[in-house]
Structure 1
Amino acid sequence: MIVLFDMFGVIARDQSPEVMAEMSADQDFWDAYWAHRPAYDRGDVTADEYWARVGHPPLVEQDVASWSRVDYEMVALLHELHNAGQRIALLSNIPEDHARNFERAHAWLDLFEVRAFSCRIGHAKPDRAAFEWCRDRLDDDDILFVDDRLENVQAAQLVGMRGHHFTGIDGLRALLGADRPV
């Protein structure tokens, strides 16, 4: 079995409310931010094009900072799984600026057999093609996909993967039989 992890909401924390508040308190900004995000995540548009679509001067540094918090208890679990010989991979909806920041800052990304960043594979969850891309690269049909968003878990199941709706590390540890740190 291969465990295919989502990043944000599982290994990395969700967007920082404090940084979000610094970026904007305007609901129209956030509506545009999310409406145009899929194209940015897939790498269809550059950061400058994305921010022009949002209708705001680029906030790349603040945006990257808003998504940069990591759950180090989850990182420890990744190390445990890797050291025990468990195959692990990553599928994340992430724009190129964010991917480069994570690669510079976090050596633990090297634990993943496959790193499927949406900006580099041209597909974003819950698009079926994102899961198929991972399955093809991993060359295995026995994949457990772990994500905090139920719609992504359900999309993975539609392509034949098993799914785990992540709500915390304890439930994942129990599922993996890793309920005690190694």
Structure 2
Amino acid sequence: MSTDRPIVLFDLFGVIARHQRPGAMEEMAALSGAPTDALATAYWTCRQPYDAGQFSASQYWTAVLQGLSLPAHPDIIEKLRLADIDSWSRVDDRMVAYVQSLRDVAEVALLSNIPADHADAFLAAQPWLNHLDHVAFSGKIHAAKPDPAAFRHCIVAMHAAPADFLFVDDRDENVRAAEAIGMNGHVFTRHDELAAALDTWLPTR
């Protein structure tokens, strides 16, 4: 093994943090003046380049609003940006504690699809992230899962081999992408299933 200890590489949203807050899309739709379904479609259609650091927040929200034939006023963009960040701000405290506890037996890292400005806000609100062995946000590294480049960033940054990692994500497509470059993978569903999987994986290292 290339590192002194095994590496558990976590996704953020849907594993350690909660998915988008219920009702958030309706709130952003009201701010924009668009129907909720139409905003949701534009929101997700434009999201990949924002997650991957190819769009700034202003460019992203301008693309969303223009796609809805709505004016992209700077004050509306800022309100939407802040509402969007707030909608992704919740964490699962039990999982946060569990992730931190794993540092006694493994290196612990994070790989999340998140725009750069969201990442800055999340880091400011969640200082425990600074104590992990490595944190990789897609908007900062300019590569979003399931792009292999996102996983390769972590391999290089941690001076490790792919087989040193167990990658944990709630999306099957991301886990399959990690496995395709040689990482071990676990599709997250519940804390107890993850704990059992890690209890099996870690002693074999």
TM-score range, shorter chain: over 0.9
Distance of 2:143 and 2:132 partners within structure 1: 19
**Which ranges in structure 1 are unaligned for 5 or more consecutive residues?**
none
Asked if 1:34 corresponds to 2:39, the answer is: no
Shift of 1:85: 3.8
In 2, are the aligned partners of 1:146 and 1:165 still within 8 Å (CA)? yes
Q: CA separation in 2, counterparts of 1:166 and 1:88?
A: 16
Structure with the greater alpha carbon radius of gyration: 2
Q: Secondary structure at the match of 1:17?
A: coil
Q: Which residue in 2 is equivalent to 1:88?
A: 108
Moved over 4 A (4+): none
> Distance between the aligned counterparts of 1:22 and 1:161, measured in 2?
39
Per-residue CA deviations over 1:48-75 (Å, capped at 9, x if unaligned) read 1100100164201110011011000000
2:57 pairs with one of 40, 44, 47:
47
Q: CA RMSD in A?
A: 1.3
Tell me by how many angstroms 1:47 deviates.
0.6
Aligned length: 177
Helix, strand or coil: the match of 2:174?
helix
Which of 9, 12, 20 matches 1:4? 9
Task: Provide the C-alpha distance between the structure 1 equivalents of 2:199 and 2:179, rounded to a whole number of angstroms.
Answer: 21
Q: How many Å apart are 1:96 and its aligned residue?
A: 1.4
Residue identity matched to 1:138: M
TM-score by length of 1: 0.93
Contact 1:88 1:111 in 2 (8 A): no
- Structure-to-structure mapping, 1:72-87, within 5 angstroms: 72-82=93-103, 84-87=104-107
Identify unmatched segments of 5+ residues in structure 2.
1-5, 30-34, 66-71, 201-205
Residue of structure 2 equivalent to 1:112: 132
Report how far residue 92 of structure 1 moved.
Answer: 0.4
